[in-house]
Amino acid sequence: SHQDVPTKLVAKAVPLPMTVRGHWFLSPRTEYTVAVQTASKQVDGDYVVSEWSEIIEFCTADYSKVHLTQLLEKAEVIAGRM
């Protein structure tokens, strides 16, 4: 079942232009919807919060051959210990 999961990405404010990178562990063959909102702390301690960005929708692909090889190697190591 689909469920919205709130995610926070907090970054130190830097002069524009800036890029904030977040790391999410995405599942293969899964549809995702992403929107971004920023909050800037003011001198008085309050925050100015932006409007939400446009919504970006994308779908992840299958596992790559490199990832499948890594999974196979891990499985072989575990099987060897059993």
Residue bearing tokens 């499985």? 75
How many distinct structural domains can be found in the chain? 1
Residue 57 domain boundaries: 32-80
Whether omega before 6 lies within 30 degrees of 0, making that bond cis, reads no
Backbone angles phi, psi at 70, to 5 degrees: -65, -45
pLDDT, position 42: 85
Q: Is residue 53 part of a domain?
A: yes
Torsion of CA 77, 61, 9, 39, to 10 degrees: 170
Q: Is residue 25 part of a domain?
A: no
pLDDT, position 1: 46
pLDDT tens for the chain, 82 residues long, are: 445 555 555 555 555 555 666 667 778 888 888 888 887 888 998 888 888 889 989 988 887 888 888 889 999 988 888 7
Residue bearing tokens 């919504």? 55
pLDDT, position 50: 87
Q: Is residue 27 part of a domain?
A: no
